Amino acid sequence: MIAGRGFSSSYSRRIANHQAIVTGAWKMNARFFYLLLTRLFSYHAKAVLAVASAFLAAPVFAEATFEPAQPIPLYSYFSTGDVNATVTAPTTLPSPSFVLMGGGPDVDPAFRWLIQRAGIGPGTGGRFVVIRATGTEAYNPYIFYSDETLSTSSTIADLWVGGASLGLTSVETLVIPSVKAANNKAVNAILARANVVFIAGGDQSHYIRFWKGTALEQTLLALMKRNVPVGGTSAGLAVLGQFDYSALYKSATSEDSMLDPYYKDITFDPNPLSLQGGFIAPPALASMIFDSHFDSRDRMGRFIAFLSRIVAPTATPGGTFGCIGGVLPASSSGNATARGIGIGVETALLVQGNGNGKPVTARRVTNASTTTESAVYFVRPSVPPSVCRPKTPLTVSTVEVRKLADSNRVFNITDWTGVPLYKYMDVTSGMLFPADWY
């Protein structure tokens, strides 16, 4: 549930890079050292550093001092660049664009693609707005600048997006931690000016609880109607489907989900499931549910349970199949069927419309220096579950899995074609076969 510019993004490749940087941190100027620590650990580490600094700086026998409690702000707003610059980038675009990111280290080229899809280029200006319910402005310098010296050079270093060199004039972050904040006029005015929107990682239950049914949701819908590019990572990815795993309680495991597909930690938006879809529910991503950190957290089993729950009951001469409360058919053809995409860490799927009457397509990207496979899994039940009821192990067979692990192939999301079948998966009495699905 947590990823991207946050405390839990401690993945070996980038941590190794950062450890090398920290070793020589005494050589850095104070501004960059602050930036580095903020990007590494987000608000969790900043709190720890603040406490540690205060402890080390205080006299051993300092007298206690008391200050009045400060009011908690309704929302937080941070900006990098010139928010008042004139922007001539288009406000309406011909087709939609989405970045579906799987959590962990952020995928630098995916952010550049969002900027380019927004029609932003040198001289046009453009506003990139990050929204989240917790956290800091850690995305701002990462997206805006080109390297650790905070330059806007056209030569962009690894771990940086270089948005200013691509035409951005500002990167802005809104921390929106309540329904009241999501209905705030100033918050929505800032968001409404966005040329690109990115939903950070965190806890998707906050997005459902705090943002759904508010003015913020209406602002997002208005932006998507104009085809403003939208991206999300981890929890931000989770809320981009027609159906969302809302994680209102604890994060469901594959084992628990297969042993009981109605387990208490399996919660969805909308609840109950309906064809109207959940929070924002982009039309280009209809019939789909998403999951992140897919292979690193062994999530195939729970994802098949999620997809099974979406499959509607079907009466046949041999009995009733499907899941109580499901709303879509299971099929190996057609696009109005239960479908899902699982995305690995340090992986992004670039989804784009291609004009009226043309299919929605997608391709996978990752960082050049990644050490992970960075795979995307397209999962579709071809037949309804044969056993799917509360407190009973799930049984479903012939679940199609297509795997995309290169950046040269294009997947047709509309027709679910373009990548060959990787393998069929079965869940029998709550057990996944084959177990080595990677």
Res 33: pLDDT? 42
**pTM score, two decimals?**
0.86
Q: What is the pLDDT of residue 35?
A: 40
pLDDT in tens, 356-387: 889 999 999 999 999 999 999 999 999 999 99
Residue 263 confidence (pLDDT): 97
Instruction: Output the pLDDT for position 64.
Output: 54
The pLDDT assigned to 72 comes to: 77
Secondary structure letter of residue 286 according to DSSP: T
Between CA 412 and CA 420, with CA 418 as vertex, the angle to 5 degrees is 140
Burial 7-43 (b: 16+ CB within 10 A, else e): bbbebeebeeebeebeeeeeebeeebbebbbbbbbbb
The beta strands (E) that lie in 304-381 are given as: 314-316, 319-321, 339-343, 348-352, 361-365, 376-381
Q: Where are the domains of the chain?
A: 1-240, 246-438
Q: Give pLDDT < 50 ranges for the chain.
A: 1-3, 7-62
Please give the CATH architecture assigned to the domain spanning 1-240: 3-Layer(aba) Sandwich (3.40)
Q: Residue 66 has what pLDDT? A: 60
Report the pLDDT value the prediction gives residue 404, as an integer from 0 to 100: 98
